Amino acid sequence: MEGPPILSMKGISKEFFGNQVLKNVDLIARPGEIHALVGENGAGKSTLMNILFGMPVIHSTGGFKGEIEIGGEKVTIANPHEAMNHGIGMVHQEFMLIPDFSITENIKVGREIGKPTMLSKFLGSSMDILDRRAMSKDAQNALSRIGMSIEDYVKVAGLPIGYKQFVEIAREIDKTGIKLLVFDEPTAVLTESEAERLLDIMRRIARQGIAIIFITHRLDEVLAVADSLTILRDGELIERTMTKDMTVVEIAGKMIGRKVERLVDVADTVRELDDDTVALELRNFSVAMPGEQVSQMDVSVKKGEIFGFGGLAGQGKIGIINGIMGLYPSEGDALVFGKKLQLDRLGDALRNGMAFVSEDRRGVGLLLNESIERNIIFSSMQIHNKFLWKRGPFSTLNRKQSKEHALKMIRLLDIRCTGPNQKSRSLSGGNQQKVCLARALTMDPNILIVAEPTRGIDIGAKKLVLEHLVKLNAEKGVTIVIISSELVELRSVCDRIAIVAEGKVSQILPPDASDAAFGLAMSGMSIHDAEGEGEVHHE
Amino acid sequence: MKNKEDQRSQSTPVTEVALPDESRSRKVLSWVFDNKVMLLFGILCIGAVAVSGNSTSFVVENIFIRFGRNGFTVLSLLIPVLAGMGLNFSIVIGAIAAQVGLFFAVDWGMAGMPGMLVAFAIATPLSVLFGFGVGRLFNKMKGAEMIAGLILGFFADGLYQLFFLYILGGVLPIRSENLGIPGGIGIKNTIDLTGNMKYALDRVKMIDLVLVLFIVIALLSVIRIITHLKNKKTFPVGAAVLLIGSAVLYGLTYIPAIEQYLMADQLAVIDAIGIVCLLTVLRSVWKLAENKRHPDAHFRTRRHIILIAGAVVVYAATYIPFVRDIVLSAKIAVLPFALVAGLCVFNQAFLSTRLGQNMRTVGQSQVIANASGIHVDRVRILAMIISTVLACWGQLIYLQNLGTFATYGAHLQVGQFAIAALLVGGASVQKATNKQAITGVILFHTLFIVAPEAGKALFNNAMIGEYFRVFVSYGVIALALAMHAWQRKVKPQLEMPR
């Protein structure tokens, strides 16, 4: 971990159109070191990386101030290709892989090995013939360096999602003279076990003397794998320190600049739960959603309750909401206040006083090319015929009413935008989520189902969204069902939490149950099962 | 290369990834599904041939004529598909370049092979220029290349008409009086190529081709030997063997019997089948021997054995009287077929070059290509240039075979017909191969040949037969595109979890 840094960025400042997004920031990475770069959304992480890679967006907006040194030498990086030549690689959050290419072709993309032909003398190396044998050998070598063994001629399309990421890493590793590898939120799309494997691979790569910059919002992963970290907040360098001197609470505190203990304070809300009235009941409920199957689930949610569905990715918790909404075919019964939903009729759940916030914000949740206003009123207009002028057989949009409502929602949820006419595509993730929530609230629901409410949004926005859900529940008595991968979040707001494993409810636990109980429930066991086998693992 | 890293990395276990194995019946099913367009047209063709009452030998003879005429143009469509630019409707522009070149060659009173060479010399730089322009335009409207190409074709036709109707004879003088509209300006409707360019390429004798081939190989080998001796001071045995071998083979052509045979400009199909079978066997045997020397884990031994067996069976089949009767009268023009074969080889070889691989990458994902340091725009422009030039040559081959040059009509349907043929062969907007192009040309033109007669037989009216032909040619494009759209939309059936 000692020795001269491979990368040192000094005094980096950058402004976009008068908006200072980086102020005199330093970033240093040493050989064999895993260096975490943390900060809220908008803290300047992406801009810093864009500068490092010489992305066109930086140069087309007036460049930046400060110096970049690689291996002690001052360099200017004009484009991503030059960054590559300096030995800097990037593992992207969204895979940069070609499904129809073999693993070898993906690993060697743009850097194919060629043998000169007669034509290459006249037309340059683009007429070289590919040396597939040598390419395959290189690919195998790169794969074995990250501990993967797979036939390299297999097409990437057929690989499990976790392995696609490993191919992506192998591609970066294969670049000659690679010195620094940037991992941009690499675990965001992975299941927990895949994420663990990834961290292993990062350690393995670091042992080979390559510096790693690890960008993530999962602080436990920072503690697990990083040697040192840089914390950015609002474009400023807050701290560069060794990880072993820090705790999660301290890092989170420095990131958002105020002490966080719980995401939401619910202690002072006094609510009366109606134990006798069942708001939502699932009976023998199955959903055929690929990758998130629900199989013959039975569960009931009481009126006025905040109910959580947790569990690992791919176990079926996401399938529940998609089945009730009618987006995927389902079997069995779903009852809302005792009334059976017609699940094959799209929108039946909406008509029965339910509202949804989908986990797929950009795909299902939003009309990306429509304004915030239209997004907020859309479901209500379609289902309840609100915001409409009736003129005989025709009805037209009541612009005044819809605008007033949108402005009210923007104020209420603190949606950061230029106005109700801004396209929802151009909003940040957190604000898009707030728009989804605003639309659900506009439905004035009895039951609100929210899936992954805080996925991909920063801690500040997260807190606001959760607080609002709690408030809604306390003030209006709306029954709220939260489906989330983040247990911390569920435990801070829910009355009861159902852990879903293999498409069934494995356990229903109170939020203050022990960590071990939750952990066991996720693997489909209860404390009693574990004790029966005489193997209780405490964390 | 068991290096230090490998030993160090033993702390974490190596992950093995198991892949699902497909069953045989499933493979057959998915093959049928993938090739349903081709299969449907195959059945349609067989039905139409049966109904039309045309003799099979007539149909086969005509297929070979039309294949030599149109094959090249259809094959020129492959590279843009590869580069992700879809079906290149703008090959019309290549055809326009060809017609300008051909017109000037005719106007200057050139004839035969020299005339053709002049036409090529004028048309090729023009089509490079046009291809470059089209590529630049397509780069500005990524994702809408096909509709852009279609409209561009119409636009280019307008400019072409302006050029031939007004500028030629109006601004630029034309030399041959009989090409102009009598008493006016501009060029007349039809230019007869009989006596100058007709069959200029078709009538090239085999012996001349062999001579040219020998000269090229000899020159290349000599260059190779010289450069090797200069640079590395080792003697390139391979090049020398090639030189001597080709010299010996060329020497054989002085044997009177062989010389007599090669003096012809057409090759009987029955001989061609024998030659192709022989080449297939030789190639597979060579590959098998190669694999013996350097074993390769993924080498498909069975495939080559099947190829050899197939070649033998096909050759044997030519001795069956029935088959012999069918193919006996069919002949192929040597040079156009050699050019088509050459283009197939080119397309295939191009895939294994660095540029070809880059083009495939661009075709699959421009974002990834960009991030991998590939100049996406340049690669796309190159794809358009290659396609336009090939389409231009294809049009020259087409016109010299047809023998009449419809000044204002010859290029209009080029894009549609070539694309229809390619689609019938089972190609799609994203994927097209040599095999699909060849199958497509054969099926499409079979239908074209027999459609009028079939229509007459079915509806007892010659007019309906003619209508049927037009209907079929446009219908296949719509049907093929619709079937492909449907094929892309089909989702796997979801199963309820138990």
pLDDT attached to residue B136: 96
Considering only residues B387 and B44, tell me which one the structure prediction assigns the higher pLDDT: B387
Query: Which chain A residue is nearest to residue B354, measuring alpha carbons?
Result: A126
pLDDT attached to residue A253: 67
The residues, any chain, with a CB within 8 Å of residue B45's CB and separated by 6 or more, are B443, B446, B447, B450
Interface check B348 vs A, CB under 8 A: no
Q: Do A130 and B352 touch (CB under 8 A)?
A: yes
In a shared domain, residues B108 and B229: no
pLDDT attached to residue A468: 85
In a shared domain, residues A18 and A122: no
Short-list A137, A120, A139, CA closest to A128: A120
Interface check A14 vs B, CB under 8 A: no
Output the CA–CA distances (angstroms, integers) from residue B460 to B52, B56, B452, in the order listed: 11, 21, 11
CATH number at residue A315: 3.40.50.300
Share of chain B above pLDDT 90, in %: 37
B296 falls within a domain: no
Q: Of chain A residues 283-322, which have a CB less than 8 A from chain B?
A: 286-290, 293-296
Res. B116 pLDDT band, cuts 50 70 90? very high
Q: Give the domain range for residue B215.
A: 205-264
The residues, any chain, with a CB within 8 Å of residue B38's CB and separated by 6 or more, are B424, B425, B426, B436, B439, B440, B443
Residue A230, classed as helix, strand or coil, is strand
Residue whose token pair is 């492909």: B484
Q: Is the pLDDT of residue A535 over 50?
A: no
Q: Do A125 and B220 touch (CB under 8 A)?
A: no
Short-list A417, A421, A428, CA closest to A402: A421
Lowest mean pLDDT among A65-79, A270-284, A390-404, B412-426: A270-284
Mutation site for B-interface testing, chosen from A79, A98, A117 by largest number of B Cβ within 10 Å: A98
In a shared domain, residues A236 and A271: no
- Average pLDDT across chain A, whole number: 82
Nearest to B353 among A105, A130, A197 (CB): A130
Q: What is the mean pLDDT of residues B330-345?
A: 91
Res. B381 pLDDT band, cuts 50 70 90? very high
Å between A180 CA and nearest CA of chain B: 17
pLDDT attached to residue B25: 77
- Other Cβ atoms less than 10 A from the Cβ of A467: the count is 15
pLDDT attached to residue B22: 57
Report chain A residues whose CB lies below 8 A from the CB of B355: 126-127
Interface check A97 vs B, CB under 8 A: yes
**Rounded to whole angstroms, how far apart are CA atoms A498 and A504?**
10
In a shared domain, residues A340 and A389: no
- Other Cβ atoms less than 10 A from the Cβ of B137: the count is 16
A92 falls within a domain: no
pLDDT attached to residue A251: 76
In a shared domain, residues A77 and A196: yes
pLDDT in tens, A147-184: 877 788 888 887 777 788 888 888 888 887 888 999 98
Total tally of structural domains belonging to chain B:
2
C-beta separation of B380 from B362 below 8 A: yes
In a shared domain, residues B139 and B260: no
**Rounded to whole angstroms, how far apart are CA atoms A351 and A334?**
14
Å between A97 CA and nearest CA of chain B: 7
pLDDT in tens, A427-480: 877 788 889 989 998 988 999 999 988 776 766 777 888 888 888 888 888 899
Å between B427 CA and nearest CA of chain A: 16
Output the CA–CA distances (angstroms, integers) from residue A258 to A16, A45, A255, B89, in the order listed: 27, 20, 8, 62
Q: Is the pLDDT of residue B13 over 50?
A: no
The residues, any chain, with a CB within 8 Å of residue B425's CB and separated by 6 or more, are B38, B435, B436, B437, B438, B439, B440, B441, B443, B444
**Rounded to whole angstroms, how far apart are CA atoms A232 and A27?**
10
Q: Is the pLDDT of residue A270 over 60?
A: no
Q: Which two tokens stand for residue A236?
A: 């400023």
Interface check A96 vs B, CB under 8 A: yes
Share of chain A above pLDDT 90, in %: 11
- Other Cβ atoms less than 10 A from the Cβ of B71: the count is 28
Amino acid (one-letter) located at B397? I
Å between B387 CA and nearest CA of chain A: 17
C-beta separation of B368 from A97 below 8 A: yes
In a shared domain, residues B72 and B135: yes
CATH number at residue B403: 1.10.3470
Interface check B9 vs A, CB under 8 A: yes
Task: Pick the last residue of a domain from A236, A259, A282.
Answer: A259
Å between B218 CA and nearest CA of chain A: 14
Interface check B355 vs A, CB under 8 A: yes
In a shared domain, residues B148 and B226: no
Interface check B298 vs A, CB under 8 A: yes
Q: What is the mean pLDDT of residues A411-436?
A: 84
Lowest mean pLDDT among A463-472, A515-524, B115-124, B291-300: A515-524
In a shared domain, residues A469 and A348: yes
In a shared domain, residues A424 and A464: no
Nearest to B19 among A101, A154, A207 (CB): A154
CB-based burial of residue A428 (10 Å sphere; 0-12 exposed, 13-18 middle, 19+ buried)?
A: middle
A93 falls within a domain: no
The residues, any chain, with a CB within 8 Å of residue B275's CB and separated by 6 or more, are none
In a shared domain, residues A245 and A284: no
Q: Give the domain range for residue A524.
A: 262-353+446-539
Interface check B491 vs A, CB under 8 A: no
Short-list A43, A49, A42, A38, CA closest to A7: A49
Considering only residues B281 and A253, tell me which one the structure prediction assigns the higher pLDDT: B281
A205 falls within a domain: yes
In a shared domain, residues A426 and A317: no
Report chain A residues whose CB lies below 8 A from the CB of B358: 110, 126
Q: Is the ipTM of this complex over 0.85?
A: no
B79 falls within a domain: yes
Interface check B195 vs A, CB under 8 A: no
Nearest to A329 among B355, B357, B494 (CB): B494
Interface check B177 vs A, CB under 8 A: no
pLDDT in tens, B251-288: 888 888 888 888 888 888 888 899 999 999 999 999 88
In a shared domain, residues B240 and B139: no
pLDDT attached to residue B484: 61
Total tally of structural domains belonging to chain A:
4
pLDDT attached to residue B374: 87
pLDDT attached to residue B10: 39
Interface check B369 vs A, CB under 8 A: yes
Chains A and B form CB pairs within 8 A to the count of 119
Q: Is the pLDDT of residue A236 over 80?
A: yes
B270 falls within a domain: no
Res. A231 pLDDT band, cuts 50 70 90? confident
In a shared domain, residues A252 and A292: no
Q: Of chain A residues 189-218, which have a CB less than 8 A from chain B?
A: 197, 200-201, 204, 207-208
Q: Do B220 and A118 touch (CB under 8 A)?
A: yes
pLDDT attached to residue B399: 94
B317 falls within a domain: no
Q: Do B358 and A286 touch (CB under 8 A)?
A: no
B458 falls within a domain: yes
In a shared domain, residues A423 and A455: no
In a shared domain, residues A456 and A505: yes
Considering only residues A2 and B132, tell me which one the structure prediction assigns the higher pLDDT: B132
In a shared domain, residues B425 and B473: yes
Nearest to B12 among A128, A147, A328 (CB): A147
Amino acid (one-letter) located at A470? V
Query: Which chain A residue is nearest to residue B376, measuring alpha carbons?
Result: A110
Res. A6 pLDDT band, cuts 50 70 90? confident
In a shared domain, residues A474 and A534: yes
pLDDT attached to residue B439: 94
Q: Is the pLDDT of residue A422 over 60?
A: yes
Task: Pick the last residue of a domain from B264, B279, B309.
Answer: B264
A241 falls within a domain: yes
pLDDT attached to residue A153: 82
Q: Is the pLDDT of residue A138 over 60?
A: yes
Nearest to A130 among B357, B361, B368 (CB): B357
pTM assigned to the model: 0.73
Interface check A162 vs B, CB under 8 A: no
pLDDT in tens, A64-107: 889 999 888 888 888 878 888 888 888 876 678 888 888 999 99
